[in-house]
Amino acid sequence: MTDVRHTRERIAGCEVSVQRGGAGQPLLFLHGARGAGRWLPFMEALSQTFDVIVPEHPGFGQSETPAWLDNIHDLAYFYLDFVEHLGLQQVHLVGTSMGGWIAAELAVRNQHSLRSLTLVASAGIHVQGMQPGDIFLWPEQELIHNLFADRKLADAMLSEKSSQDEQDIQLKNKLTTAKLAWQPRLYDPHLTKWLHRITVPTLIMWGAEDKLIPVEYGPAFRGLIPNARLEVFQDCGHLPHIEKMSDFVSALRRFLQGVQP
């Protein structure tokens, strides 16, 4: 098992919680709306090859909620400061869902420290005629079921007993997500104009049965980012890194091995 280190970093006046494990090139993982309070199996698998760094965004989990946090752009700039603060170079940036949106916003601003970009079922753009699911209107049980293609995985997640602290964190995460992505829902109307600025090798990953952000968004991102590649996982919902963990890790490793400096 990887020796996972838990630290707290103060950046831009905000103290954030960070998990870090493994060795090799840095892989910065940006989580989705439900947070990143646990070291998950896919993180463990990737840490055998990479230095995996998993912060909790400002406003989420054990991280502070700074007064300056108003929108996704603020998080993009924060993570540019985060990379500089940790002295990271040649970073493999991986973001899922809302974390993918943050990663894309970061990359269109400054790619100086990036070696690659991977967007997993990413929010951030609007595709005409393709209506995303509404995480703010779905009841919790419906939301969990809609995250997976395999109902058994959803039922297993729903059967887990949450402590009061965990419930409080989920409420905090929901409130911050609403602040950042309520209107317009889960996208930045200006991001599409600037995705062509991304020049680092880019991989788009999607579940074919994604009910939150339809799989049609994958080709849309691929068409907007020069030379981007698309990997679609069959029988998979919104969380390929959870539902198809082995396939996800294998596909990501193949891609990253191909872009090593």
Rounded to an integer, what distance in angstroms lies between the CA atom of residue 203 and that of residue 30?
15
Task: Note the pLDDT tens digit of each residue in 216-258.
Answer: 999 999 999 999 999 999 999 999 999 999 999 999 999 999 9
* Mean pLDDT across 76-94: 98
Rounded to an integer, what distance in angstroms lies between the CA atom of residue 48 and that of residue 56?
21
Calculate the alpha carbon distances from 190 to 106, 246, 247 in Å: 13, 35, 33
- Pick from 110, 58, 118: nearest CA to 80: 110
* E strand residue ranges, 4-74: 5-11, 14-21, 26-30, 51-55
pTM: 0.97
Confidence band for 41, pLDDT divided at 50, 70 and 90: very high
Task: Note the pLDDT tens digit of each residue in 45-56.
Answer: 999 999 999 999
The pLDDT value given to residue 261: 64
Rounded to an integer, what distance in angstroms lies between the CA atom of residue 56 and that of residue 89?
20
Task: Note the pLDDT tens digit of each residue in 106-135.
Answer: 999 999 999 999 999 999 999 999 989 999
188 Cβ partners below 8 Å, 6+ apart? 72, 73, 101, 105, 124, 125
Rounded to an integer, what distance in angstroms lies between the CA atom of residue 218 and that of residue 231?
8
The one-character DSSP state at 162 is P
The one-character DSSP state at 124 is B
Confidence band for 165, pLDDT divided at 50, 70 and 90: very high
Domains of the chain in sequence order:
5-258 (3.40.50.1820)
Task: Note the pLDDT tens digit of each residue in 64-84.
Answer: 999 999 999 999 999 999 999
